[in-house]
Amino acid sequence: MSDVSERVEELLTGEPVTAHLATCSDDRPHVAPVWFRYEDGVVELVTGGRKLRDIRENPYVSLSVERSTAGDPEWTVTLRGTATVVEDVADYREANRRINRRYGAPEDAWLGENTLVRVDVGSASSRTY
C-alpha cells in the first residue's frame, strides 16, 4: 500500500520533470534519468539497458524527483518502491504514449526501444525549499 500524500501527488502529476531512477545490482548502485508518469501510487516508466537488467535482478528501486531553477531547488520528492517489468506489448504501447504526451513528445517516439516498468510506491517523502 502506498504512502503518498496529496501534496506529493500534486508535485508528481504537475509540471513534467525528470526523475532519477536508482537501481542496484551486484551490490553496486546505478542512477539514471527517466521520464515517468504517476497515478494512484504507481509510477510508470519505459526503459532498457542496465536499468532494466538491474530491475529484473533486484526489483527494489528509488526515484528522486526535483523541480529547480538554475540549480536552486524548489522542491524534491523521493519515492521507494518495488518495480515490476511488464512484458505485454499493448500495455507498453499505451504507457509509452501516456508518458510521451506528458512530456510533449510525439506519442510513438521511442516505440519498441524499451520495456514498460511499473513501480508500486511503498513510501514517499518530500521537501519544499
Q: Got the DSSP string for 24-42?
A: EETTEEEEEEE--EEETTE
- Which has the higher per-residue pLDDT, 80 or 113? 80
* 1 pLDDT more than 70: no
Report yes or no on 74 lying in a domain. Answer: yes
pLDDT tier at 2 (50, 70, 90 boundaries)?
Answer: low
**Coil, strand or helix: which one is 58?**
coil
What is the tally of structural domains in the chain? 1
Report yes or no on 47 lying in a domain. Answer: yes
For residues 67 and 114, the answer to whether their CB atoms sit within 8 Å is no
Report yes or no on 124 lying in a domain. Answer: yes
Cell triple for 106: 510525439
Reference 23, options 82, 76, 97; nearest CA is: 82
Report yes or no on 1 lying in a domain. Answer: no
Cell triple for 110: 521511442
**Coil, strand or helix: which one is 107?**
coil
Report yes or no on 78 lying in a domain. Answer: yes
Q: Largest Cα–Cα distance of the chain, in whole Å?
A: 41
Report yes or no on 107 lying in a domain. Answer: yes
CATH no. for residue 121? 2.30.110.10
pLDDT tier at 107 (50, 70, 90 boundaries)?
Answer: confident
Report yes or no on 49 lying in a domain. Answer: yes
